[in-house]
Amino acid sequence: MTADEPIFSHTWDGRHVGISIFEIWDRIRTVTESPRKILEVGSFEGYSTSAMIRLFADRSPIEITCIDSWAGAILFDERVDPTHEARFDANVAIAVRKAENPVQLRKIKSDSFRAMASLIHEGESESFDWIYVDGSHEAKDVFLDAAGAFRLLKRGGILIFDDYLWNDPLAKGGHVNQTPKPAIDAFVKIFYDQLTVFAGAGLWQMYLRKN
């Protein structure tokens, strides 16, 4: 293993459900402006971060802001593993180094509600081209992430929610509000007249454009 090879303990990219999430992202950016200012809510080990750097820095310089508390989540049965943050740092450093154009990376170690509220307070409302939400999978947290993301996303920008159909807690006897879907559905219903849903893009993620 060399210093130029990233290390990921998990590689969620849709293959387990027969799709390629990153190919879908690439298709979406071909029918919209290629994003230059990107926000990721929930970065874990930097797998999706690295993919966005690879995809979007091929055309122009980009800015990418990554928010994560690295404090565990229901998706991992609340386990806290300090290696996740260290792997994020190492993996994205490799992606930035290999990028075809300059990448300005901003890492915010915080819970997402506080972090997005700070970005809004600092004047970054409606400034992001592309926002990817993959943080807490509990409905109450997902809804807050959605509301913050909507405020930060510019008109015409792309908003993607991961794990729309994730239901692992239900198989373990958990409550539906421990999954993202109720919050995403509620958000789309409330903001229906200000969003366009990308049809035919696969339902493991929810793909939206702000009108």
Q: Give the pLDDT mean for 7-22.
A: 74
At the topology level of CATH, where does 15-210 sit? Rossmann fold (3.40.50)
**pTM, whole model, 2 decimals?**
0.92
Of the candidates 59, 73, 52, 70, the one whose C-alpha atom is nearest the C-alpha of residue 101 is: 59
Q: What average pLDDT does the chain have?
A: 90
Torsion over CA of 39, 122, 197 and 137, rounded to 10 degrees? Answer: 60
Question: Rounded to an integer, what distance in angstroms lies between the CA atom of residue 113 and that of residue 74?
Answer: 17
The per-residue pLDDT for range 137-171, each reduced to its tens digit, is 999 999 999 999 999 999 999 999 999 988 888 87
Per-residue confidence band for 1, with pLDDT thresholds at 50, 70 and 90 = very low
3-state secondary structure of 194: helix
Beta bridge mates, 107: 66
